[in-house]
Amino acid sequence: MIFELDPKHALFPHPSLAEEDGLLAIGGDLSTERLLNAYRQGIFPWYSKETPILWYAPHERFVLYPYKIKVSKSMRKSFARNDFTFTSDQAFEQVIAECSRVPRKDQDGTWIVPDMIRAYSELHQAGFAHSIEVWQKNVLVGGLYGVLIGKVFCGESMFSRISDASKAALIYLCQEYDIDLIDCQIHSAHLESMGAEMMTQQDYLNILAQQAYSPNGLQKLFRQV
């Protein structure tokens, strides 16, 4: 059963009620309150210009534990050479705009529509959406963005303008920030090759239920010198 959301109340049905393909609800809006309620319950928006807002809660979740990330020999060499420099939350709107523009294999158009760009930019300004930027000679060449719920980073999208830049962003996020889990949402062979794995919806919801979250929660790991 697909539920129609009440436009006046930022509430969702339980994720377990989603259709087989993960579609749970339709309608509502992309207010900061509703988006935060969604992510706290393992729900995310995914739609196009041709459809109303669609909300998904997959019955299996594709996740990555940062300590399990697989870094190839070539990527280790790239980091050792300092091929890239990295920042966080310095160019959020540029990152999400690039994610909406970069062509993707087997994908016609983008699901990052203008309303979504505005909504996640507002979520960023509220301190809950974050970006990792990858630079080369002061040019933005890659990055990723997502929503942070406690120590769960709900990844939304990434982009590369040159080879390996999005991989570098993900590795940097895993190795430098105090997070316990990255939600990759749905399966991709690329992320599986980097160590991502499937998790049941209930296990994912149990992890989310343990999270205490607040604005500006993306913190670097403390490393003793």
Q: Is the pLDDT of residue 106 over 60?
A: no
| pLDDT for the residue numbered 173 | 98
| pLDDT for the residue numbered 216 | 93
Q: Is the pLDDT of residue 77 over 70?
A: yes
Q: Is the pLDDT of residue 108 over 80?
A: no
Ramachandran angles phi, psi of 209, nearest 5°: -65, -20
Q: What are the chain's domains?
A: 3-59 (3.30.70.3550), 62-209 (3.40.630.70)
3-state secondary structure of 184: strand
Q: Is the pLDDT of residue 225 over 80?
A: no
Average pLDDT, the chain: 94
* 186, HSE (Cβ side, Cα atoms, 13 Å): 11
Q: Is the pLDDT of residue 11 over 70?
A: yes
| pLDDT for the residue numbered 222 | 78
Residue 219: pLDDT band (50, 70, 90) is very high
Q: Where are the alpha helices (DSSP H) in the chain?
A: 32-40, 73-80, 92-101, 114-125, 165-176, 189-192, 201-209
C-beta contacts of 70-79 below 8 A and 24+ residues apart: 70/193, 70/194, 70/195, 71/171, 74/164, 75/164, 75/167, 75/168, 75/171, 78/164, 78/168, 79/168, 79/171
Q: Is 179 exposed, middle or buried (0-12, 13-18, 19+ CB in 10 A)?
A: buried
| pLDDT for the residue numbered 56 | 97
Residue 121, CA distances (Å) to 23, 92, 94, 206 in order: 24, 7, 10, 28
pTM of the model: 0.94
| pLDDT for the residue numbered 109 | 46
